[in-house]
Amino acid sequence: MSHSGDADGGHQSFTDKLKNPFHELKDKLKGTHLHDAKVALTHKKHQIGKFGNLFNPEHRHDEEHEKACDEKRTKIGEGHRFKSYFPEHDGNMIKWYVDGRDYFHAVSVALEQAQESIYIADWWLSPELFLRRPPSLNQEWRLDQVLKRRAEAGVKIYVAVYREVEAALTCNSEHTKHALQSLCPEGSPGYGNIKIMRHPDHNVLENAADMTFYWAHHEKFIVIDYKMAFIGGLDLCFGRWDNHQHPLSDVHPEGVHNEVWPGQDFNNNRVMDFQNVQDWKQNELSKADYGRMPWHDVAMGVIGPCVYDIAEHFVLRWNFIKRDKYKRDDRFDWIELRGRQGDDEDLVGVQRPKHPVGDYVVHPYTPLETKNLENRGTIHAQIVRSSADWSSGILRDHSIQNAYCEIIRNAQHYVYIENQFFITATGDQQSPVHNQIGRAIVEACVRAGKEGRKFRVIILIPAIPGFAGDLRDDAATGTRAIMDYQFKSICRGEHSIFEQIRKEGVDPTQHIFVFNLRTYDRLNKTPQIKKQEEQSGVPYHELQRAQAEEIMGSGIHGSKDVEGGIDKHMGKTESNGGPDLDDVAEKKRRFEAARDGAPEPTTAFSVAHHAMADTGDLTDQPWEGDPKDEVENWIQEELYIHAKLLIVDDRIVVCGSSNLNDRSQEGHHDSELSIVMEDTDRIQSVMDGQPFEAGRHAATLRRYLWREHLGLLPPQDLDVKDDVNAQPPGDDSPNDAWDREDSYKFVEDPMSEDVWKMWTENATTNTEIFRHLFHADPDDHVKTFDDYNLFLPPKGVKAGHIFDKFLPPEDIRNKLNKIKGHLVWMPLDFLKDANMAETGLQVNQFTESVYA
């Protein structure tokens, strides 16, 4: 989704769509004498709300009880590492999850076991998300069905989601709210057990001071019974479920019931953004013509004392939203935490109003000592965040940035980064970019260079970060602006990381390496599929819709609700029209009847697994029909990197929701939550050829990720079977690092020249093949927009397909067979001789900070 929250880059026309509210503000201020206004607004602040913040730089922190609470929090933070409000804890058990298959299955198991409470904070939540695949065999594991079961069992469920700017974003949190509210209507079991809040409101008078038209609640975490938490980069929403081979195709001649991504869940934002997500079963993107956008991500499951800190942050946010938006709404209670009760210990957030509406409910419901959080594992961990007044009612907290800077600055061997963005500064000369992670990278590289020490910073980011379609279009100006900031952060201009290192007499090309991920597949639109389309009169696109109607059409949806108020119809169900099941069944019957007498299909629905280990030779894959038709069906796409991950020296890991840009790192922009982890369980390893004690958690995660990217892991089945990596954290489910394979030992030493040779050679080979066969962009050969027009097919031609349709089919197969893993080089010369983002409506002094 192209947006300013999770894709964080701004919608293609995001700023243009938002200019009217700010013109409205300008009109309201026109003719106002600011000094008189300040005096009047200070006296009448309680009457006019947050508009007074325009003249109050401390926002709502000017009253005595607020100042006292701020002083308590600040004092606590000053005594902690990274100036985080949260302390360091020993004894955590933390499990890593790579990609959505394992993570969502683990979450499904954990949610089903909930007995008391579930907290969920998400940028976007899709109630119709299937946590297990294929959906046709896992109807009971759709998210809304899981939550409904737990609510009916008496579990109290609290959900806080970002309320998007509806004119610019398509995630539709209103649908999320209505769908969840309708799961347990009045009079049914579970009524009142699901509470959902959306925040912030988007009233120009209330939001102008905080700029919350642009900033988002970006956290992704879950807390279950105060016993277990999940934290990382994965929202519970469409488009995130994926496995290690990252297939692009989902066409099934053997039966549409085998589809993996139904309805809106099949998505490629490079072709078309999500549309009308409240109609979850529809999808305007035909699987027979386009591939999906694959998704790479990382998350953590936590048992231990850090669970309480994650829960405390949720309570902070919940009470703040209650006070900020639902203060007089008795549908929502105030949460008190055990151990944080009473005026003296009111550190959970927001000071309560003098005349609150709603009950005070103490969480957890049973004593903390029953949660068994102490001494559960070997990981020393700490919660860090980006948070501020607009997002949680506190003074600015940018402890995530503090952690990144300190950990990188102290690195001795390597820094490994996976992130959705890479926008940072090396000093105070790159406004509007201010975060200093770039400076920490410069210092670490310069120190290593002058000491003659081998040291690498390896960065993986998406090839195109903002989901734009054709980067040549005017609508892609915002995405090009993000890319421009990234190039200026890395290698362009005197303040870039490269030039600042070079200025110190050190060669940056020996230390910093930047990569993207990319994958290929084959659309399975066989001659048999075409024949069935013709004979049945049902295009495959309509068949996929019919399947989605059948798979996703169940459930109770649609209660109406007045935002911030009480609605007399709350909890009642209203029809959403629903699918015409007779028509759905008839379309499926006709299409499948047209297959009668046809032999069983021999082509695989996806061949993406051939980039992984132990999968045989791609050239042996059957293709039904004329080999020339196969040429039309080869596709490629960037593998979208959404992880927010830092690993240093095989010892320290930082994972959470925080992107590497000002939006996520500065604290007063997007709200974020991350966790810093260092395992005290040391394993004997090797670093640059020398014996080395690595932390088990960091080393096994890094080895697992590197083998996925190098194609040294086997592909994954849909059924997790006995895969321990797809289970929640626990004494009986430690991570399986696949250490029984030779590849585990091969990647043991992150500084090994053999490993580095494979890494760079794979990236080089893959880059050249994607360039030759698909003219995949962005590319180093494209230095100007004239180059771009020569490099890409004409506008309007389907993206991602073979560029030269006259290539011999066997040549295409032979070249694709050489692709191993998903690594490609980041094209650091892309559009280097062009003005990537001209100043104008979308890129100007006002909007620059949005992209940074």
Q: What is the DSSP string of 130-156?
A: BSSSSGGG-GGGBHHHHHHHHHHTT-E
What's the burial of 730, exposed, middle or buried (CB within 10 Å: 0-12/13-18/19+)? middle
* pLDDT in the model for residue 24: 40
- Residue pair 773/812 in contact by the 8 Å Cβ criterion: yes
Alpha-helical regions (H) of 268-330: 306-325
44 a catalytic residue: no
Residue 185 lies in a domain: yes
- 177 in active site: no
pLDDT value, residue 563: 45
Catalytic pick from 95, 218, 380, 413?
218
Looking at this protein, which amino acid is placed at residue 223?
V
Task: Please say if 28 is a catalytic residue.
Answer: no
Residue 668 lies in a domain: no
Ranges of residues in the chain with a pLDDT under 50 are 1-5, 7-49, 167, 556-577
Are residues 729 and 442 in contact, defined by beta-carbon separation less than 8 angstroms? Answer: no
Per-residue model confidence as pLDDT tens digits over 286-335: 899 899 999 999 999 999 999 999 999 999 999 999 988 888 899 999 89
Strand partners, 222: 120, 230
Using CA atoms, how far apart are residues 408 and 400, in angstroms rounded to an integer?
12
DSSP state of 191: T
Q: Which residues contact 551 (CB under 8 A, 6 or more apart)?
A: 135, 136, 139, 259, 262, 263, 281
> Which pLDDT score is estimated for 339?
79
Element (H, E) at 221: strand 221-224
Task: Measure the CA–CA gap between 364 and 198, rounded to whole angstroms.
Answer: 23
Catalytic choice (3, 220, 488, 775): 220
Question: Taking the C-alpha atoms of 304, 308, 310 and 315 in order, what is their torsion angle to the nearest 10 degrees?
Answer: 160
Tokens 């920490």 locate to 440
- Supply the pLDDT for residue 207: 54
The number of residues making up the chain comes to: 852
Tokens at residue 595, please? 């297959």
**Choice among 8, 99, 225, 242 that is catalytic:** 225
On whether residue 97 sits in a domain, the answer given is yes
Q: Using the 8-state DSSP alphabet, how is residue 268 labeled?
A: B
| Centroid of chain to Cα 412 | 29
Spatial distance between the Cα atoms of 260 and 262, rounded to a whole number of angstroms? 6
Ranges assigned E (strand) in 358-412: 360-363, 379-387, 397-398
pLDDT of residue 30: 41
The verdict on whether 560 is a catalytic residue reads no
Active site residue 83: no
Are residues 798 and 792 in contact, defined by beta-carbon separation less than 8 angstroms?
no
For the chain, helix, strand, coil in percent to 5 are 35, 15, 50
Q: Is 754 labeled as catalytic in the residue annotation?
A: no
Residue ranges making up the domain that contains 78: 14-242+297-380
d(CA 700, CA 750): 11
Question: 3-class secondary structure for 51-86?
Answer: HHHHHCCCCCCCCHHHHHHHHHHHHHHHCCHHHCCC
Which one of 413, 495, 642, 822 is the catalytic residue? Answer: 642
Rounded CA separation 136/138 (Å): 6
Report the predicted TM-score, pTM, of the whole model to 2 decimal places: 0.92
Q: What is the model's pLDDT at position 462?
A: 97
CA dist list (Å): 606 to 258, 641, 707, 744: 12, 21, 21, 27
Q: d(Cα 614, Cα 213) in Å, to the nearest integer?
A: 49
778 within some domain: no
3-state secondary structure of 844: coil
507 lies in some domain: no
Spatial separation of the C-alpha atoms in residues 175 and 123, rounded to whole Å? 14
- 3-state SS, residue 468: coil
| Rounded-to-integer distance, Cα 653 and Cα 382, Å | 11
Question: Residue 252: helix, strand or coil by DSSP?
Answer: coil
Active-site hit among 649, 670, 679, 749: 649
Q: Name the β-bridge partners of 67.
A: none
Give the pLDDT of residue 208: 53
23: domain CATH number?
3.30.870.10
> Does the residue 163 lie in any domain?
yes
Give 316's Cβ-side CA count (13 Å radius). 26
Cα distances (Å, whole numbers) of residue 28 to 25, 51, 146, 208, 606: 5, 11, 47, 12, 57
- Which of 50, 644, 801, 822 does the annotation list as catalytic? 644
In the prediction, which pLDDT does 572 show? 33
Domains identified in the chain, total number: 1
Tokens describing residue 640: 């979208």
Structural domain includes residue 173: yes
Asked whether residue 284 is domain-assigned, the answer is no
